[in-house]
Amino acid sequence: MAAMGEFERHEPIFGFTGPVARGVAACILIAAITAALVSLPEQSAEWLRSREMIRKLYLLPILLCAAWFGARGAAASTVVATLVCVGVPGSFWPADVPTRVERVGEIAVLWLVGALAASFFEQQKKYFQDIEAANDNTLLALASSLDVREHNTGVHSQRVADYTLRLAKELGITCREELDVTWRGALLHDVGKIGIPDGVLLKPGPLTEEEWKVMRTHPEVGDRILRKIEFLRAPAEIVLAHHERYDGSGYPRGISGDSILLGARMFAVIDVYDALTTDRSYHTARSHAEALQSLRKGAGTLFDPAIVSAFGKIPFEELRGIARNNQTSLVLAVEPVPSLQGAPAVSPQ
Ligand SMILES: [Fe+2]
Taking the centre of ligand 1 as the mean of its atom positions, its distance from the CA of residue 287, in whole angstroms, is 23
Taking the centre of ligand 1 as the mean of its atom positions, its distance from the CA of residue 190, in whole angstroms, is 5
The pLDDT of residue 345 is: 47
The pLDDT of residue 203 is: 86
Lowest mean pLDDT among 154-168, 204-218, 269-283, 328-342: 328-342
Taking the centre of ligand 1 as the mean of its atom positions, its distance from the CA of residue 188, in whole angstroms, is 9
Taking the centre of ligand 1 as the mean of its atom positions, its distance from the CA of residue 193, in whole angstroms, is 8
Residues above pLDDT 70, as percent of the chain: 85
Q: What interhelical angle do 233-241 and 176-187 show, nearest 10? A: 50
Mean pLDDT for the chain?
86
Q: What is the pLDDT of residues 1-54, one digit of tens each?
A: 544 544 555 555 555 567 788 888 899 999 999 888 878 776 666 777 788 888
Lowest mean pLDDT among 170-179, 273-282, 299-308, 329-338: 329-338
Q: What is the dihedral of CA 282, 203, 219, 189, to 10 degrees?
A: -50
Taking the centre of ligand 1 as the mean of its atom positions, its distance from the CA of residue 74, in whole angstroms, is 48
**pLDDT band for position 262 (cuts 50, 70, 90):** very high
The pLDDT of residue 281 is: 67
Amino acid at 60: L
Taking the centre of ligand 1 as the mean of its atom positions, its distance from the CA of residue 349, in whole angstroms, is 6
The runs of H, that is alpha helices, within 57-194 are 59-85, 97-151, 156-170, 176-187
Over residues 219-229, mean pLDDT: 95
> Does pLDDT of 237 surpass 60?
yes
The burial class, CB within 10 Å (0-12 / 13-18 / 19+), for 35 is exposed
Residues facing 283 on adjacent strands:
280
> Does pLDDT of 163 surpass 90?
yes
Residues facing 303 on adjacent strands:
299
The pLDDT of residue 91 is: 59
DSSP string, 198-218: HHHHT-SSPPPHHHHHHHTTH
d(CA 102, CA 304): 67
Taking the centre of ligand 1 as the mean of its atom positions, its distance from the CA of residue 224, in whole angstroms, is 14
Over residues 64-76, mean pLDDT: 91
Phi, psi of 136 (to 5 degrees): -65, -35
* Pick from 235, 249, 292, 241: nearest CA to 268: 241
The pLDDT of residue 283 is: 73
Taking the centre of ligand 1 as the mean of its atom positions, its distance from the CA of residue 3, in whole angstroms, is 24
d(CA 145, CA 152): 9
**pLDDT band for position 147 (cuts 50, 70, 90):** confident
> Does pLDDT of 61 surpass 60?
yes
Taking the centre of ligand 1 as the mean of its atom positions, its distance from the CA of residue 197, in whole angstroms, is 15
d(CA 347, CA 349): 6
> Does pLDDT of 341 surpass 50?
no
Residues facing 299 on adjacent strands:
303
**pLDDT band for position 311 (cuts 50, 70, 90):** very high
Angle at 214 between CA 202 and CA 266, to 5 degrees: 80
Query: By the 8 A CB rule, do 229 and 246 touch?
Result: no
**pLDDT band for position 92 (cuts 50, 70, 90):** low
The pLDDT of residue 330 is: 53
Report pTM: 0.74
d(CA 50, CA 39): 11
The pLDDT of residue 38 is: 79
**pLDDT band for position 244 (cuts 50, 70, 90):** very high
Q: Which comes out higher in pLDDT, residue 24 or 184?
A: 184
The pLDDT of residue 241 is: 97
The pLDDT of residue 14 is: 54
Query: By the 8 A CB rule, do 202 and 146 touch?
Result: no
Q: What is the pLDDT of residues 113-138, one digit of tens each?
A: 999 999 999 999 999 999 989 998 99
The pLDDT of residue 340 is: 46
Residues facing 12 on adjacent strands:
17
Taking the centre of ligand 1 as the mean of its atom positions, its distance from the CA of residue 254, in whole angstroms, is 15
DSSP string, 133-168: HHHHHHHHHHHHHHHHHHHSSS-HHHHHHHHHHHHH
d(CA 38, CA 35): 5
Question: What CATH architecture applies to the domain 155-340?
Answer: Orthogonal Bundle (1.10)
d(CA 206, CA 202): 11
Lowest mean pLDDT among 154-168, 222-236, 303-317, 328-342: 328-342
Q: Which residues of 291-327 are buried (b: 16+ CB within 10 A; e: fewer)?
A: bbebbeebbeebbbeebbebbeebeeeebbebbeebe
- Cα–Cα distances (Å) from 22 to 18, 79, 206, 327, in that order, read 7, 18, 57, 40
Q: Which comes out higher in pLDDT, residue 267 or 102?
A: 267
